Chains A and B, each alone.
Chain A
Amino acid sequence: MKKIFLIAGICFTSHVCLAQLTTTLVVVPQPPGTLINWGTKELTYIISNQAGSVIRNFIVKAELKESNGTVVATTNLAKARVRTIGPATLILYAADVIPLEVMVFTGRHKTSLERTGKLPAGNYELCLQLVTPIDFLPFSEVRCRNFTLAAFQLPIPMMPANEQVLDAEKAQTSVMFRWTPVAPRPSELVKYIVTVFEILDRQTPMQALRSNQPLLTKEIIGTTQYIWQPQLSFAKTKVWADDIQADSLYSKEDKAVMDSVDVTTFIWTIQTVDSRGVPFGDGNVNSDGISEPNTFTVIRDRRKIKTGPPATILYLNSMKNRRN
Chain B
Amino acid sequence: MKNKTILITTLAVMVCTDIVAQETATKKPPFSISGTAGVSYEYYGLSKKPKGWTGFSPRKPWNQVRFNFSPQMQFGKNFSLPFNFNFAMKPTNYAGPYSGITKQSFGQFITNPMNSFGLNPKYKWAELQLGTQYLNYSELSTGDIGVFGAGFDLRPGTYSIKFFTGLSQQGVNFFTGPPATNGAYKRSNWMFSLGKAKEEKYEVAINFVKAKDDSTSASPPPLLIKPQEGFTMSLVSKVFFNKGWYVKMEGAQSIYTKNLLLPLDVTKASFKPFIEAHTSTVKDFAGDAAIGKKGKNLDIGLKLKYIGAGFQTPGYLFMLPDRFDYTLNTRFNAWKNKTGGYKMNVVASAGQRVNNVSNTTLKAKQFIGNLNWFTQFNDHLSLNVSFNNFGFQAPGGINPYGIKNVSNDFGVNPTYTWGNDKVIHLLSLNYNYSKYDERDVITGLVTSNNTHTALLTYVPTFLTKDLSPDFSLMYFRNSMPGFTLKLITFSAGLGWSAAKKKMNFRAQAQYNYSKTNSFSNNNNIIASLNNDWKVSKKLTWTTFISTNQFKYGNEIVPNNARYLESNIRTGFQYKFGK
Q: State whether B93 touches A210 (Cβ < 8 A).
A: yes
CA distance A213 to B99 in the complex (A): 10
Min CB distance, B431 to chain A, in Å? 11
Within 8 Å CB of B317, what residues of A?
Answer: 206, 285-286
As a 0/1 sequence over residues 486 to 515 of chain B, the CB contacts with chain A under 8 angstroms (1 = contact) are 010101000100000000000010101010
A: contact size bracket: 35 or more
Q: Is the CB of B319 within 8 A of A242?
A: no
- Known: A116-B310, A161-B388. Is A236-B530 also a contact (CB below 8 A)? yes
Which one, A122, A170, A184, A225, contacts B455 given CB within 8 A?
A: A170
Contact with A along B276-296 (1 / 0, CB 8 A): 000110111000000000000
Q: Which residue of B lies closest to A233 (CB)?
A: B528
The answer on a CB contact under 8 Å between A202 and B68 is yes
Are A306 and B426 touching (Cβ within 8 A)? yes
Q: Check A178/B436 contact, CB under 8 A, given A117-B310, A285-B228.
A: yes
Is A260 interfacial (CB 8 A cutoff)? no
B-side contacts of A22, CB under 8 Å = none
Verify if A187 is at the interface (C-beta below 8 Å from B).
yes
Complex: A204 Cα to B134 Cα, angstroms = 9
Stretch of B5-13, B148-156, B396-404 at the chain-chain interface:
B396-404
The answer to whether B280 and A36 touch across the interface, beta carbons within 8 angstroms, is: yes
Among B262, B284, B376, B398, the residue within 8 A (CB) of A150 is: B398
Contact B59 A206 (CB under 8 A): no
Interface of B is mostly: strand
A214-B94 Cα distance, complex, nearest whole Å: 7
Please tell me which stretch of B23-31, B121-129, B542-550 contacts chain A, meaning at least 4 of its Cβ atoms lie within 8 angstroms of it: B542-550
Among A150, A187, A204, A225, the residue within 8 A (CB) of B436 is A225
B259, B392, B544, B550: the one contacting A231 at CB < 8 Å is B550
Residues of A within 8 A of B424 (CB): 305
Residues of A within 8 Å of B280, CB to CB, are 36, 100, 117
Does the CB pair A183–B508 fall under 8 Å? no
- B269 at the binding interface (Cβ < 8 Å): yes
**Chain A stretch 208-254: residues in CB contact (< 8 A) with chain B:** 209-217, 223-225, 227, 229, 231-233, 235-236, 239, 242-244
Residue of A at shortest CB range from B264?
Answer: A101
Contact status A173-B259, CB under 8 Å? no
Contact of B526 with A151 in the complex, beta carbons under 8 Å: no
Interface of chain A, main secondary structure: loop
Q: In the assembled complex, which residues on chain B have CB atoms less than 8 Å from the CB atom of A34?
A: 258
Bound together, the chains give a CA A198 to CA B86 distance in angstroms of 16
- CB pair A173–B487 under 8 Å, yes or no, is yes
Q: Is B482 an interface residue (CB 8 A)?
A: no
A117 to B447, CA, bound (A): 37
Complex interface: stretch among A56-64, A136-144, A310-318 = A310-318
Whether A172 touches B510, Cβ cut-off 8 Å, given contacts A36-B262, A115-B308, A233-B526, is yes
Q: Is B331's CB under 8 angstroms from A320's CB?
A: yes
Interface: A308 (CB within 8 A): yes
Cβ of B366 and Cβ of A184 under 8 Å apart? no
**B441 CB–A CB distance under 8 Å:** yes
**Shortest distance between the CB of B270 and any CB in chain A (Å):** 12
B290 to nearest A CB, angstroms? 11
Shortest Cβ distance from A213 into B: residue? B92
Chain B nearest CB: distance from A218 CB in Å? 10
Assuming the contacts A114-B268, A169-B474, asked whether A212 and B114 have C-beta atoms less than 8 A apart, the reply is yes
Does B70 contact A202, Cβ atoms closer than 8 Å?
yes
**B59 pairs with A183, CB closer than 8 A:** no
Contact partners of A30 in chain B: CB under 8 A? 398
A207 vs B372: C-alpha distance when bound (angstroms): 31
Using an 8 Å CB-CB cutoff, how does the interface string of A129-166 with B read, 1 for contact, 0 for none? 00000000000000000001011011010110100000
Residues of A within 8 A of B99 (CB): 288
A50 within 8 Å of B by Cβ?
no
- CB closest residue in chain A, given B57: A217
* Min distance, Cβ A23 to any Cβ of chain B, angstroms: 25
Residues of B312-339 contacting chain A, CB below 8 A: 312, 317-322, 331
> Would you call B49 an interface residue if the criterion is a C-beta within 8 Å of the partner chain's C-beta atoms?
no
B: number of interface residues (CB 8 Å): 140
- Report the minimal beta-carbon distance from B276 to chain A, rounded to whole angstroms: 14
Q: Contact between B526 and A231 (Cβ–Cβ < 8 Å)? A: yes
A151 to B514, CA, bound (A): 41
Which single residue of chain A is at the shortest CB-CB distance from B312?
A285
CA distance A213 to B284 in the complex (A): 35
Per the bound structure, the CA–CA distance linking A209 and B317 in Å amounts to 11
Chain A residues within 8 Å of B299, by CB: 320
Of chain B, the residue at the smallest CB distance from A306 is B426
Question: Across the interface, do A293 and B362 meet the contact criterion of CB distance under 8 Å?
Answer: no
With A156-B355, A183-B362: A288-B95 Cβ-Cβ less than 8 Å? yes
CA distance in complex: A203, B299 (Å): 29
Whether A291 and B318, one on each chain, are in contact in the complex, defined by CB atoms closer than 8 angstroms, is yes
Q: Which of A61-93 contact B (CB under 8 A)?
A: none
Interface check B273, CB cutoff 8 A: no
Question: Closest residue of chain A to B184, judged by CB?
Answer: A286
A3 on the interface (CB 8 Å rule)?
Answer: no
A121, CB-defined interface residue at 8 Å: yes
How far does the Cβ of B320 sit from chain A's closest Cβ, in whole Å? 4
Hey, what's the 0/1 contact readout for B343-381 against A, CB within 8 Å counting as 1? 001010000010110110110101010101010100100
> In the complex where A151-B359, A320-B299 touch, is A227 in contact with B320 (Cβ < 8 A)?
no
Q: In the complex the two chains form, is A116's CB within 8 Å of B309's CB?
A: yes
Task: List 8 other contacts, CB 8 Å, given A213-B61, A313-B384.
Answer: A148-B398, A159-B390, A181-B405, A207-B134, A209-B96, A214-B59, A233-B528, A285-B228
Would you list 25 pairs from A and B whose C-beta atoms are within 8 A, ordered by A residue? Answer: A36-B258, A36-B279, A100-B279, A115-B284, A115-B310, A116-B310, A159-B390, A161-B368, A169-B472, A173-B487, A176-B434, A181-B403, A181-B405, A183-B362, A184-B403, A185-B403, A206-B318, A207-B114, A231-B548, A233-B527, A235-B544, A244-B35, A244-B70, A304-B461, A317-B347
